[in-house]
Amino acid sequence: MLLDASRSQLVLVDYQLRLLPAIFESAAVVGNAVRLGKLARLMGVPAWGTEENPSGLGENAPEVRALCDRTLGKMHFSALQDGLGEWLRAPAKAPQGNARSLPKHLQKPVGASERDMIVIAGCETHVCLLQTALDLLDDEFDVCVVTDACGSRTERNRDAAFDRLAGAGAELVTTEMVAFEWLRTAGHPHFKAVLALMK
């Protein structure tokens, strides 16, 4: 499955100021999160942030927070338990025309998300990102975890989370994979801008 910018949403999980100093390779992780946020802006992809217990762990790094359309403060490790799912689902639309104008198998369910591909990255990979991603899979989203924009305090915890996510059906991708799948062609009007972001 290739990523499609018109069907994608970006979720950036818990890049919080008090947590980042403990995260393995945090500078590279945050750098890739910022690239993802800038890519989303260029490509018209909605971007959402989450912050775990912000009164205790602080806000997300300002360079990440600035690239999110909205940021959800949460106490559950899975952001879906605190309402992220409602943000990701398209608002319900009233049925149009004659209800019998299309056969049932061709009718979309009312309120089904038009952006059902979730590109997700964040900290800690084995806790908040893992639980959020597993809930997204249970909620029937296609989930792509951006591995080079994810971090935990240890490599072992991060990599164990990747193994578990892959086994559960998430796609493991990198920032560059997201960029070039969203573009699809060197003829895309934002190709040069994206290329500059990747360097």
How confident is the model over 51-89, as pLDDT tens digits?
Answer: 999 999 999 999 999 999 999 999 999 999 999 999 999
Residue 76 belongs to some domain of the structure: yes
- Burial label for 57, CB within 10 Å (0-12, 13-18, 19+), is middle
Residue 93 belongs to some domain of the structure: no
**pLDDT for the residue 199:** 86
- Closest by CA to 159, choosing from 25, 68, 69, 36, is 25
**pLDDT for the residue 114:** 85
**pLDDT for the residue 101:** 54
pLDDT digits (tens, 9 = 90+) for 158-171: 999 999 999 999 99
* Structural domain count of the chain: 1
**pLDDT for the residue 151:** 98
**pLDDT for the residue 103:** 55
CATH for 17: 3.40.50.850
What is the span of the domain harbouring residue 120? 5-88+114-198
**pLDDT for the residue 187:** 94
Residue 101 belongs to some domain of the structure: no
List the chain residues with pLDDT less than 70: 91-113
In the numeric block, the tokens 């240890």 are attached to 154
Q: Report how far apart, in Å, the C-alpha atoms of 157 and of each of 71, 123, 196 are.
A: 25, 11, 32
Residue 132 belongs to some domain of the structure: yes
